[in-house]
Amino acid sequence: MKVLITGTEGYLGCLLAAFLLRQGYDVTGMDTGFYKAGWLYNGVDLAPKTVNKDIRHITLDDLQGMDAVVHMAELSNDPTGQLAPHITHEINFKGSVRLAELAKQAGVSRFVYMSSCSVYGFSTEPEGASEASPVDPQTAYAKCKVMVERAIAPMADDDFSPTFMRNATAFGASPRMRFDIVINNLAGLAWTTEKIKMNSDGTPWRPMVHALDIAKATLCVLEAPRDMIHNQIFNVGDTSNNYRVKDIAEIIADIFTGCKLSFGSISADRRNYRVCFDKINTQLPGFKCEWDASRGAQQLHDLFTRIDLTEEMFHFRGYTRLKQLEYLIRTQQIDQDFFWKPL
């Protein structure tokens, strides 16, 4: 199968590309290159040929001959979305929908869209939000995810099968590391400062999923019979991996021995949701999460030991999406529309 992956120089993309190449897939990558600086360690044995291109510039020719597109190249996470909501809309919504339209025109049969469990926003369902639950996105990033799902779903037909992967919050080691996601961030603080000082009381719930389990889910979607994935939404994760933020902090503090843990007051952040992952675990052949927060924290501890992670490395802009984009704007390497500026 020939697969185009957008975002192959990202946190998830570099792991997914190597994973699919090892399975024998013919992978082409595409990435705008915003996060080239964020390389923490040499941890992937294979990398695809990657075209340096913004998804807003993708043409029909880029998609000819592809059997599938896995699309994850968007401005990621909530702080980035708040930095420039109008550009988030242009890239994450308009760019993603246009890519799906071009893929359909090019005869691509499978389109896998990386959505997010953040679309649930604030949910009080005791068993966790399922794919059929109402969505309540709280941020520009999450709102765009919902809009893309709703715009692409009607494109489905006998020749074009979109699948929407609502990933839980990712964690775990990646060469293109991110320290602006909760488990990775708390582990980095525990290692570099021996303190986890929470700004909130840690009571809100969040679902978590390891980056490699997201790669595994993507493989399962690509290999599943068409009728199982056609125009389907899958929450990606495992119900046992719903955690309160304080539970995550305590798990990390136990593994990073000597780390002092403290909590603050109730946060103004309304996001609080548990997610039900029964569908993916019963209806997608071959999928089962292999990682939980404890194993992921141990992986991070082992990585930090191996590379001798310093506080300077931990705070480097290349590992935090907002810092890196602010740097590119400040140095005028990208313009007001987030396109690269020629010298």
Per DSSP, helices labelled H in 113-181 are 140-152
What per-residue confidence (pLDDT) applies to 127? 87
Residue appearing with tokens 């480097």:
316
Q: Tokens for 20, please give them.
A: 């699919």
Select from 67, 58, 124 the least CA-distant residue to 94: 58
What per-residue confidence (pLDDT) applies to 269? 61
Q: Tokens for 182, please give them.
A: 């909760």
Q: What's the order of all strands across the beta sheet hosting 2-6?
A: 49-52, 26-31, 2-6, 68-71, 110-116, 161-167, 232-236
Cα–Cα distance, 74 to 93 (Å, whole number): 9
Q: Identify the segments of the chain with pLDDT beneath 70.
A: 266-271
Select from 5, 18, 70 the least CA-distant residue to 175: 18
What per-residue confidence (pLDDT) applies to 79? 80
What per-residue confidence (pLDDT) applies to 124? 81
Q: Tokens for 34, please give them.
A: 């915003």
Question: Please, which residues bridge with residue 268 across strands?
Answer: none
What per-residue confidence (pLDDT) applies to 276? 97
What per-residue confidence (pLDDT) applies to 271? 66
